Structure 1
Amino acid sequence: MSESIEGLNVGAHFLDRLAPREREQLLASGRTLLARQNEMVFSQGDPHDGIFIITRGQVRVYYTAPSGREITLAYWTPGHFIGGPEISGGGTHMWSGIAIDDCEFVALSGATLQRVLREIPAFALALIDGLVAKGKCYSSMAQMLGTRSVIERLAQYLLNLAELEGIAEGDTVLLGRKTTHDQIAAMVGSTRQWVTMMLKRFQAKRIIAIEGGAIRILRIDQLEAILFRD
């Protein structure tokens, strides 16, 4: 969740600081792990030990409140690392990560991370780059939650998806990713019932159409008007 898609994927390039030999050494230091679609990568409250570098697939990271409600923090793609913030291990995971599709990771334990940081000084700077990108991502999300209404967040989410993954067809945009109302609710910080009601309202106003579970945006300008109204 962000007010624009600019810089959203910067963290996927955090290893670009490394020379090819250093990158190869780093990845060889970890363990290759696989996770099937809908399999947990790590769970909130579990003991924490190191990070996972995504080499294939996509992971949804989310927080579960005591009430049971979830809020999605981000969808991380290949090149990003997950498993923070205590990258060197210790404590427990503050949130959960679930594989959206079949995933592959290079897992670096806390002890391995500390050793590699001593052996490859450039990796320390790369890791800082990755943490900075994550900090900006979560700060943008906090800003959206604190300053935008729920309907504005929904409009922004649809616009971001349209720009990131949308398929332009004439004057309309088909969103490539099929998302459930529960998933949208977790992203915008609302309930499934509210999302269902609002999407029906958008359909009635001919702002969107639902086609086989996918959303087609009919009036981009109307979504933008929600964000920039006085």
Structure 2
Amino acid sequence: MMLAESDNLVRPLPGLLDGLSRADCNRLRAIGREKALEAGQLVWSQGDTQAGIYLISEGRIRSYYAAPSGREVTLAYWFPGNFVGGPDIFGTGPHMWTSVAAERSRLTFMPGPALRRLALESPTIAVALLDALAFKARCYSAMAQMLGTRSVTERLHSLLIFLSHVYGVKRGGEIVVGMPFTHGDLANLIGSTRQWVTVQLARLQEEGVIRYDRSVISILALSTLGQGME
């Protein structure tokens, strides 16, 4: 099983510009303003007024919800080709979560009003935005189901399966997750500790289920991860 109860919730990772013509890509870039962030710098804070979206060119962005208790629930990590912002990408409602640079990153800010005009003028841009929002919705739905219905061990196994489906590249008899995830990243996503994740990954590696080398995860026995998840 996946993070969620159905494999239909996850598909290969789409980029906003994937499938767009060069002309449409140039139109999007023309309304953009580049912004560089160091690790730990905020893109925005929960409750800030939305103004548009940020297309990631380099680096990695972490989105998380801050509970009234102060606890942070990591929702996702976003990579080059993704955008952060939404769900009200054209409007001025409040941001529902915080986004922060997990490492040095370069973004392109696209203001909501200009983005809306382009979406009205170009059906392909409008569809690309809808596809990206649909992917985000599937990710957040999968995360909510995982956190609400699984034990911590099941959450780790589900997350590894999820990553193999979204970021995985088949190489021989294994699946290499094409984006780097540290032990801390994985712990944030499943609501656990880095130390616990380190122990569990070492166990899975000893059992020949995965290989983990410098933040690169290779899945060697995908079916084993799914055992007991039905």
TM-score range, shorter chain: 0.7 to 0.9
Residue 227 and residue 55 in structure 1: after superposition, are their counterparts in 2 closer, same or farther (change >3 A)?
A: same
Partner amino acid, structure 2, of 1:9: L
State whether residues 207 and 222 of structure 1, in contact with CA within 8 Å, keep that contact through their aligned partners in structure 2: no
State the Cα distance separating 1:41 from its structure 2 match.
Answer: 1.3
TM-score after normalising by structure 1:
0.75
Counterpart of 2:28 (choices 26, 29, 37) is 26
Query: What does residue range 67-82 of structure 1 map to in structure 2 within 5 Å?
Result: 67-82=69-84
Query: What does residue range 2-13 of structure 1 map to in structure 2 within 5 Å?
Result: 2=3, 7-10=11-14, 12=15
Using the aligned pairs only, state the percent identity.
36
RMSD over equivalenced CA pairs, Å: 3.7
Q: Deviations over 1:108-167 (max 9, x none)?
A: 11222222223334322221111111112212222222332221001223455577479x
Structure of larger gyration radius: 1
Local SS of the residue matching 2:76: strand
Distance in 1 of aligned mates of 2:84 and 2:228? 33
- For 1:151, the equivalent position in structure 2 comes to 153
State the Cα distance separating 1:87 from its structure 2 match.
Answer: 0.5
State whether residues 89 and 109 of structure 1, in contact with CA within 8 Å, keep that contact through their aligned partners in structure 2: no
Partner amino acid, structure 2, of 1:147: T
Residue 165 and residue 83 in structure 1: after superposition, are their counterparts in 2 closer, same or farther (change >3 A)?
A: same
- For 2:115, the equivalent position in structure 1 comes to 113
Distance in 2 of aligned mates of 1:204 and 1:117? 49
Distance in 2 of aligned mates of 1:105 and 1:152? 34
Residue correspondences, number: 222
Counterpart of 1:99 (choices 86, 98, 101) is 101
Local SS of the residue matching 1:44: coil
Distance in 2 of aligned mates of 1:162 and 1:124? 28
TM-score after normalising by structure 2:
0.75
Give yes or no for the alignment of 1:179 onto 2:178: no
Query: What does residue range 187-202 of structure 1 map to in structure 2 within 5 Å?
Result: 187-188=189-190, 190-192=191-193, 196-197=195-196, 199-200=198-199
Higher helix share: 1
